[in-house]
Structure 1
Amino acid sequence: MTKSRLEAFSDGVLAIIITIMVLELRPPEEDYTLKSLLALLPTFLSYVLSFIYVGIYWNNHHHMFHLVDKINGAVLWKNLNLLFWLSLFPFTTAWMDHHYMQPLPVAIYGIVLAMAAVAYLILQKELIKAGGPDCKLARAVGTDSKGKISGILYIAGIGSSFVSTWVGIALYTIVAIIWFIPDKRIEKIYRNEED
Structure 2
Amino acid sequence: MLFQNSKTRLVGISDGVFAVVLTIMVLNIKVPTGHLSITQVQSLLQAIFTYLISFAVVAQYWQYHQECFGHNANLPTGIYILNNCYLSLICLIPFVTAWLKESQSSSYSAIVFAVVIAAVDILQLIMFQRVIRANLQPSQQLSPHDREEYRSVKMMVVISGLYLLVSLTVPHLILLIIAAGLTFRVITTRFMRRFKQPPFN
Q: Which TM-score tier does this pair reach, normalised by the shorter chain?
A: 0.7 to 0.9
Could you say what secondary structure the match of 2:28 adopts? coil
TM (normalized to structure 1)? Answer: 0.80
1:4-43 alignment, distance < 5 Å: 4-29=8-33, 31-33=34-36, 35=38, 36-43=40-47
Asked whether the 8 Å contact 2:125–2:154 carries over to 1, the reply is no
Partner of 1:161: 167
Structure 2 unaligned residues grouped into runs of 5+:
194-201
Partner of 1:86: 90
Say which of 126, 129, 136 aligns to 2:130: 126
Of the structure 1 ranges 42-51 and 175-184, higher mean CA displacement relative to structure 2 is found in 175-184
> For 2:37 and 2:139, how far apart are their aligned partners in 1?
54
Could you say what secondary structure the match of 1:170 adopts? helix
1:88-103 alignment, distance < 5 Å: 88-103=92-107
Q: Does 1:150 align with 2:143?
A: no
> For 2:78 and 2:67, how far apart are their aligned partners in 1?
20
Q: Does 1:47 align with 2:51?
A: yes
Q: Which amino acid aligns with 1:102?
A: S
Could you say what secondary structure the match of 2:59 adopts? helix
Distance 1:143 1:57, change over 3 A: closer
Distance 1:124 1:88, change over 3 A: same
Asked whether the 8 Å contact 1:56–1:180 carries over to 2, the reply is no
How many positions carry a matched residue from both structures?
184
Q: Which amino acid aligns with 2:87?
A: L
Show CA shifts across 1:120-175 (max 9, x none). Answer: 11111121222234699944136944344433332222222233224333322222
Partner of 2:196: none
TM (normalized to structure 2)? Answer: 0.78
Of the structure 1 ranges 134-143 and 91-100, higher mean CA displacement relative to structure 2 is found in 134-143
> For 2:48 and 2:72, how far apart are their aligned partners in 1?
36
Of the structure 1 ranges 123-132 and 67-76, higher mean CA displacement relative to structure 2 is found in 67-76
> For 2:61 and 2:84, how far apart are their aligned partners in 1?
14
Could you say what secondary structure the match of 2:156 adopts? helix
Q: Which amino acid aligns with 2:171?
A: T
Distance 1:92 1:27, change over 3 A: same
Asked whether the 8 Å contact 1:159–1:168 carries over to 2, the reply is no
Asked whether the 8 Å contact 1:103–1:162 carries over to 2, the reply is yes
Asked whether the 8 Å contact 2:106–2:172 carries over to 1, the reply is no
Identity of aligned residues (%): 22
Q: Which amino acid aligns with 1:15?
A: A
Distance 1:24 1:45, change over 3 A: same
Asked whether the 8 Å contact 2:124–2:153 carries over to 1, the reply is no
Q: Which amino acid aligns with 2:162?
A: A
- Please give the root-mean-square deviation of Cα atoms over the aligned residues, in Å: 2.8
